[in-house]
Amino acid sequence: MANLNVKKGMLIDVQPLKSKQEINELIEALGMSQNGLRDQLLFKIGVSTGLRCGDLVALKVEQVKGKSSFKIREGKTKKERTVYLNNLMADIADYIETLPVDAIYLFASRKGGSHITTTQAYRIIAKAGDMIGNDSIGTHTMRKTFGYTYYRATKDVATLMEIFNHSSQKTTLRYIGITEESIENSIKSISFF
């Protein structure tokens, strides 16, 4: 997908956010929108769970309300997965209090009775990225940030590969930007003369 500042049709190289400071700056930028609480929660759930954007925007209130975890059948892979929300329960509860009592979708669209689209989610995330001066942010940033943070904390690429339903560890490391980062760091560490 193209970033808002890039000509229509051009692709950008979406990257993970690699520090808590970058993550918090984006959360702050998301809070400045008209639907700040919604947009912040969308991003927080995305970076905390690694869900694909299509699964994220389609979450229903009943799936997450008062729950520390829930099972989801992922749209792309059709595989069932348990999603953990322990660190987000208070944020989710606070946000749900702002929704109409009969709300079905957690991230409801203002247009009709459905949820926001993945395109709308992309626009939300990319606009916040532009606000903090980072043009390599899109909806995949959430999933990649989850993976990058998980890998840096655990070094457990095998489990991360399972979470992402990737076919190889190499694919997972490349997806979260570790392969390129490792090459760069190893070259920087060598003194040739």
pLDDT at residue 1, rounded to an integer? 38
70 forms beta bridges with: 83
Positions marked active-site: 52, 76, 140, 143, 166, 175
pLDDT at residue 113, rounded to an integer? 83
d(CA 61, CA 106): 5
CA angle, residues 22, 106, 68, in degrees to nearest 5: 75
Q: What is the pTM of this model?
A: 0.88
Please check the confidence at residue 47 and state whether its pLDDT lies above 90: yes
| DSSP SS3 for 81 | strand
- Mean pLDDT (whole number) for 73-92: 92
d(CA 36, CA 77): 31
Residue pair 60/67 in contact by the 8 Å Cβ criterion: no
**Residue showing tokens 């953990």:** 84
d(CA 129, CA 120): 14
pLDDT band per the 50, 70, 90 thresholds, residue 3: very low
Residues above pLDDT 70, as percent of the chain: 94
pLDDT at residue 9, rounded to an integer? 55
